[in-house]
Amino acid sequence: MKLPFQQVDVFTDRLFGGNPLAVFLDADGLETTAMQQIAREMNLSETTFVQASDDAHSAYRVRIFTPGQELPFAGHPTLGTAFVLHRLGRVQGDSFALHMNVGVIPIKREDGMFWMTPPPAEAIGAAFDRAAITGALGVPTSVCVSPPQVFGGRGLGFLCVMLDTQANVDWTVLDRTALVTAAGPDVGTGDVLVFSYLGGLAYARMFAAVASQIVEDPATGSAVAPLCAALAHYRAIDQSRTTIKVEQGTQMGRQSFLHARFEVLHTAVQNVTVGGSSVPVFESTLEL
C-alpha cells in the first residue's frame, strides 16, 4: 500500500520556520493503529490523515495524531491540511470545512492565509496558587501577572500562565513532578501555555501534554482561543481590541506567527478565528 504525503511548515511564510506537519492523503482504510505508528515514525508534533467525509457539511474527515496519541482537534494540523488540500486542488473555492473528531471546523482562505473557527474557550475551574505554579516553572512568583488558570472547552484545556516579559517566558523550565503536586495529575500532565502580552503581541511557549510525547510545540493554533479567553478574563485586552498576533517557537529556533481575530464582550471573547500562512517543504510516499 502506497501512501502519498506532503510535509509543510505552518504558521510561517518561510521554509524551516513554523511548525512542521505531515499530511497523508488518501488515508481511507488505514487502521487507527497504523496511523499512530506512522505518526510516531514521522516524529513531528502532529501528523494528519485525510479521509472521505460522511458529513455533508465538510469536504474531508481529518484525523490528527501526535507521536503518542490521537487528538480531537489541533490548530496547525487543521490549517496545514487545508493549505495542502487547496494547493492540490482537492477543495474548491475559498470557503470549506473539515471534519475533525471535535466536530466540523469552518475554513476560509483570505489573501493567501487560511483561517479557521476553533472551538470556543472559557475559564475552566478555579485559579491555582501563583507561588506553587511558578515554582514548577522555575520563575519567581513576582513575574506572574495573574493567577494561573485552565482555559479551553470541548475536551481541550490549557493551563495558562501569564508572565510579565518575554525574557521570563524564555527563562521558564518546566518541572512536571512539581506541577503535578501544584495542580493535580490531570492539569499537571496536560498542556501548559506560558505567555506574555503587550500591545497586541503575545509571546508564548507551549509545553505539550505528557501523553502526546512532545516536550514543547513550536506553534499551537488550538491554544490561541484559550489565550484570547485568558487575556479577556485577566482584563489585559479591552473592548476595542479585535486582533492579536502570537509569536511562538522562537526559542526553539522555529519562529512562528499565529493571528487571531475576535470580539471582546466584558471579560470574555467570542467569534474567535485563527489564521496563519504555510509553505510547502517536500512530498513523498510511504509504502506499507
Catalytic residue list? 46
> Could you tell me which residues come within 8 angstroms of residue 275 by beta carbon, excluding any fewer than 6 positions away?
79, 110, 113, 114, 115, 116, 258, 259, 260, 261
Would you say 78 and 107 are in contact if contact means Cβ atoms under 8 Å apart? Answer: yes
State the DSSP string of 20-47.
EEEEE-S-TT--HHHHHHHHHHHTSSEE
**Of the candidates 271, 269, 287, 256, the residue with the CA atom closest to the CA atom of residue 80:** 256
Written as nine digits, the cell of 135 is 515554582
Phi, psi of 261, rounded to the nearest 5 degrees: -125, 145
Strand 46-52 with 19-24, pairing: parallel
Cα–Cα distance for residue pair 6/93, rounded to 1 Å: 21
